[in-house]
Structure 1
């Protein structure tokens, strides 16, 4: 561990040297994922006329159809549904679940409680909101073990004749635990099939795309969902989400997005097709930049005596870097400094507030070109003990390094180091 003596160049060099092996590996993963995406474009013969806009019903929008083909190929899936009409990752996941499930079915959440914003989608029986519970879909959360592993005895006990879907969350969310690697997800799939072979296996893939060379659908997961303003949008897609997996499940999701009998056959793209294609093309590189930024942040804050998760040389399978602080002052200073380092809205001072969908006041730094764009550098934290900040994104590695420097300088000025 080292202390901050005001010499940024020396401090940053030391942090990078300590994490060099992991930084180099991230570059290799980004390169291989770039090749995979380009090959998918070539296979579908993507051309500039596919970028043309559509209006009204959007019948016979060949660009939209090829976009679905490319996403399916990249994610090792039978089919995909990629649309700007998905308003968030939560909306996209909700569409996938509502499409696959029917009244009387049950979900078993294998990886504990899902991310906070999904709780109201699950709902409570009779809540009158049209939640899954309101429609008669039950669910069980199986808490993770103390070491972050799956409680397989708990999962086995949770399975009933009504169990229709096993749900996995790849990312850590607001938990101090490891995210799940693709190798781990592959092992989960085998065990879940042995418990109930015909159950659907669904994975929330948010924050995980392109952080490894394979995706959950490459290893047997039936259905995945994610947001285009996170990893696969490449910092360019202005909105949207994707669902990929087994063809019949993607079709059911399309019926839920539009209407039965219509599904994915309509939906004007309104000039978004080019940016979604180009965002996907750039995504492997920019995800790699964000992951490198997280590795650097972990190395820097470990040198200042803070706990980080993952640590500087741990494997990475999502964008999120968690840092545990000693007080609310540390937490708030961290998030405000991330905002101060932004290219957009650097003059804005974030304050904790009761954000819709969250159970505690949240402070959020979001100086982004795309509102809520989580591939761009951002940070948020619920104001609750333990005081953990969650940093994600960074379209360039250099920007993340600048933000880390801003945090350190602000904390020193406030006598928090």
Structure 2
């Protein structure tokens, strides 16, 4: 069979998986559309603002829409939040003070967040540098959260419990929201005052519910990932209990000013439009990940998740034999991209990452990982992490090139 015949055969086998993805997308699309109707979105909501941004109706309405969609009391949605790490960092610095304890219950969090915490390399201004206590709970032997160890780690002094939904640069399975619910219920029986914070990056609209609907007190993510639908040029969001969102807003602007300030310097239409498109865009990425997983597993590669396993985010991990194979795979992704297709990739040091990293990202928006992109740290096991896909057709095109040039 040629590459297209292999893809068509895979698609036949993936029929029911694709139908489940489409149904989830519809449920999330209906939720978003009903919220737009509730708030009577008008074209004047798309106007920019200047200066302090007082009375920015488009910004305030969008934040109310986010709060409704994520079933929270309040939300902050700003282009001034430069990344998902920035959104999470703002939450941690806003919620924790000297002497408080932060616990990560999924082992080490994503590399860039480790820099914020300061547990690997304590730069000036990190959480640890500011007197915040930090500990991690290692995963169990099956790479799942170790419930017994989590229970033993929590005390009355535990202020914030951090849960990273996505796998990050790890082969552990991403957490479904039902799993997160069970973890939160366990934590709350030990310390009902602990603040449960979920890093929701890569997980939005993959399921029909969000972590904030199963007990998370506050969540955060990036607008150049799932909720931006592939068209938001920059930004992040935070959603949760009002008193917590207020504290974070004081970290983002200034105490007493909070979310009342912050001009919409870019056309807010992108943020509204991207959110509207997000469920469909996420479904395209998920279909692409399933296709890749199915075919690469057929060729003997170790993939996670497998094509028929439950997905909790858009990330697809593929493990190779050595760094050269990883680089070759990422190069095909780059060469199949609509932007910068001729760029030759190499491992390089990137701010926030402890190892050299190769990143394939021929994206319209720099760093956008809801567009097809792939990155891999230079460490064992040699694993590439692929995510995104604005259209399934692009995912299909990439898969064809992988078959023709690698398999």
TM-score (norm 2): 0.98
Q: Distance in 1 between matches of 2:269 and 2:292?
A: 33
Say whether 1:335 aligns with 2:294: no
Say whether 1:406 aligns with 2:401: yes
Q: Distance in 2 between matches of 1:126 and 1:298?
A: 35
TM-superposed CA distance for 1:19, in Å, is: 2.0
**Map of 1:120 onto structure 2:** 115
Say whether 1:147 aligns with 2:149: no
**Map of 2:73 onto structure 1:** 78
TM-superposed CA distance for 1:14, in Å, is: 1.7
TM-superposed CA distance for 1:128, in Å, is: 5.5
Q: Distance in 2 between matches of 1:335 and 1:81?
A: 35
Is residue 289–residue 397 contact of structure 1 (8 Å, CA) maintained in 2?
Answer: yes
**Map of 1:44 onto structure 2:** 39
Q: Distance in 2 between matches of 1:153 and 1:187?
A: 13
**Map of 2:159 onto structure 1:** 164
TM-superposed CA distance for 1:23, in Å, is: 1.2
Query: What is the number of equivalent residue pairs in this alignment?
Result: 407
Is residue 124–residue 134 contact of structure 1 (8 Å, CA) maintained in 2?
Answer: no
Which secondary structure state, in structure 2, belongs to the residue aligned with residue 338 of structure 1?
A: helix
Q: 5 Å matches for 1:241-280?
A: 241-280=236-275
**Map of 2:368 onto structure 1:** 373
Q: 5 Å matches for 1:269-308?
A: 269-308=264-303
Q: Which runs of 5+ in 1 are unaligned?
A: 412-416
Which secondary structure state, in structure 2, belongs to the residue aligned with residue 171 of structure 1?
A: coil
TM-superposed CA distance for 1:408, in Å, is: 2.5
Is residue 84–residue 240 contact of structure 1 (8 Å, CA) maintained in 2?
Answer: yes
The superposition leaves residues 167-222 of structure 1 with CA deviations (integer Å, 9 ceiling, x where unpaired) of: 10000001112111111111111101012111000000000000000000011100
**Map of 1:324 onto structure 2:** 319
Say which is worse superposed, 80-89 or 117-126, in terms of deviation: 117-126
Q: Distance in 2 between matches of 1:164 and 1:289?
A: 38
> Of the candidates 181, 201, 213, which is equivalent to residue 186 of structure 1?
181
Is residue 126–residue 133 contact of structure 1 (8 Å, CA) maintained in 2?
Answer: no
Q: 5 Å matches for 1:179-258?
A: 179-258=174-253
**Map of 1:414 onto structure 2:** none
Which secondary structure state, in structure 2, belongs to the residue aligned with residue 15 of structure 1?
A: helix
Q: Distance in 1 between matches of 2:133 and 2:157?
A: 9
Is residue 67–residue 240 contact of structure 2 (8 Å, CA) maintained in 1?
Answer: yes
Q: Distance in 1 between matches of 2:86 and 2:47?
A: 26
Which secondary structure state, in structure 2, belongs to the residue aligned with residue 203 of structure 1?
A: strand
RMSD between superposed Cα atoms in Å:
1.3
Q: Distance in 1 between matches of 2:291 and 2:131?
A: 46
TM-superposed CA distance for 1:274, in Å, is: 0.9
**Map of 2:11 onto structure 1:** 16
Which secondary structure state, in structure 2, belongs to the residue aligned with residue 82 of structure 1?
A: strand
Q: Distance in 2 between matches of 1:128 and 1:9?
A: 50
TM-superposed CA distance for 1:124, in Å, is: 4.9
Is residue 77–residue 235 contact of structure 2 (8 Å, CA) maintained in 1?
Answer: yes
Q: Distance in 1 between matches of 2:246 and 2:161?
A: 19
The superposition leaves residues 53-74 of structure 1 with CA deviations (integer Å, 9 ceiling, x where unpaired) of: 1001111001111010000001
Q: Distance in 1 between matches of 2:254 and 2:6?
A: 56
Residues 397, 108 of structure 1: alpha-carbon distance in 2 compared, 3 angstrom cutoff: same
Is residue 126–residue 134 contact of structure 1 (8 Å, CA) maintained in 2?
Answer: no
> Of the candidates 387, 392, 397, which is equivalent to residue 397 of structure 1?
392
Q: Distance in 2 between matches of 1:88 and 1:73?
A: 22
TM-superposed CA distance for 1:332, in Å, is: 0.6
**Map of 2:306 onto structure 1:** 311
Which secondary structure state, in structure 2, belongs to the residue aligned with residue 49 of structure 1?
A: helix
Is residue 53–residue 273 contact of structure 1 (8 Å, CA) maintained in 2?
Answer: yes
**After the TM superposition, which segments of 4 or more aligned residues of structure 1 sit over 6 Å from their partners?**
none
Q: Distance in 2 between matches of 1:211 and 1:126?
A: 34
Which secondary structure state, in structure 1, belongs to the residue aligned with residue 345 of structure 2?
A: coil
The superposition leaves residues 234-283 of structure 1 with CA deviations (integer Å, 9 ceiling, x where unpaired) of: 11110000000100101111100000011000111013311001100000
Is residue 223–residue 236 contact of structure 2 (8 Å, CA) maintained in 1?
Answer: yes
